[in-house]
Amino acid sequence: MRRFPLQIVTADGMVFDGQAESISVRAAGGDMSVQAGHCDYVTVLGMGQARLIVDGKVRTAACIGGMLAVADGKVRLVPTTFEWAEDIDLTRARHAKEYAEAYFNSHPGETDSREYRHFEAKHKRSLIRIDVAQGASGARSL
């Protein structure tokens, strides 16, 4: 399979810099995948799972916010949060989920406040992390 140069960079530094066969992410408009030869493109990222294929091996991560850019055959992913499946603290993610759900239970019917939206986002991030971490056992590491 053809490859393309990919960089994944967060505020903490370079997460990946190499040749990839495919990168799939959740963009603002839905799931998308980039392979060699993709047209120049820029998009905002949503919250979801990233799936990277290198040398035929799949690696997954929780990928939340940021942007993806394709220019001149090179791809740069600049997420706000990016955690490889094997690095996710599942206990912490479950605790965050329970904490958000406790807030929802103690504030029934409150859906318009800034605080409620904060807990909605916290809940969604925790669900993504849990899903990615639990799916890691089926993915092969690079």
H/E element holding 83? Answer: strand 74-84
On whether the CB atoms of residues 125 and 47 are closer than 8 A, the answer is: yes
Say how many residues make up the chain.
Answer: 142
Tens-digit pLDDT profile for residues 8-22: 999 999 999 999 999
Tens-digit pLDDT profile for residues 31-73: 999 999 999 999 999 999 999 999 999 999 999 999 999 999 9
pTM, two decimal places: 0.86
On whether the CB atoms of residues 19 and 54 are closer than 8 A, the answer is: yes
d(CA 53, CA 141): 10
Q: Is it the case that residue 139 has pLDDT exceeding 70?
A: no
d(CA 33, CA 75): 11
* Dihedral pair phi/psi, residue 59, rounded to 5°: -135, 135
Cβ within 8 Å of residue 133, ≥6 positions away: 62, 85, 88, 90, 93
d(CA 55, CA 29): 28
Q: Is it the case that residue 24 has pLDDT exceeding 80?
A: yes
Q: Coil, strand, or helix at residue 17?
A: strand
Q: Is it the case that residue 137 has pLDDT exceeding 50?
A: no
Q: CA quadruple 40, 32, 74, 43: dihedral positive or negative?
A: positive
Number of helices followed by number of strands (H, E) in the chain = 2, 8
d(CA 82, CA 118): 19
